[in-house]
Amino acid sequence: ADFQPYQRRFDTKNPETQDMLIRVAKWWIKEADVDGFRLDAYKHIAPEFWPRFHREVSAYAAKLGKKNFLRPGEILTHVNEEIAGAMGPDGINAAYNYPDYLKSLPAIQGRAPPRLFEESLAANMKVLGDATRGLLRFIDTQDTYRFLDKSTPLGVLWVALSYVLFSMG
């Protein structure tokens, strides 16, 4: 991804770059016994790279006995269809649930009605069906504002953490 001026850009359209990235991923699986990779900035990588990456890395992990190798993608979007388009056998098998986060956060913070939770789940189910189980719920990330600040009552955090731990995703 190219987020100038702070980071350099990998040319993920280039087969040599693809080979190197896949070789590095396989090294981590074998040497560090990792069970998955968090794939950040998913939309900013050449789309033609991802099917190859997922096929080769998943096959390699399976050869080492890792049949359910986790490949969550971070796709910052409010559109469920964008996440659905990235999921599948040659795609991510989990995703950060940004559509739910963006819709439900005010309800989690007590600033909006709780019916937003139900509406968000219905929207996920309508587009993603069973794949909704592969959505990862969160209350903040390095790319979002922090959930808890000095003015947030601690009880709101307990409710939010309960929601993250006990709801789908």
Known catalytic residues? 40, 74
Which residues is 96 bridged to in the sheet? 136
Closest to 16 in 3D by CA, of 49, 51, 43: 49
Closest to 13 in 3D by CA, of 37, 49, 38: 49
The 8-class DSSP code of residue 44 comes to G
CA distance 105 to 25: 34
The 8-class DSSP code of residue 4 comes to T
Contacts of 10 (CB under 8 A, 6+ apart): 1, 17, 21, 45
Three-state secondary-structure class, residue 80 = helix
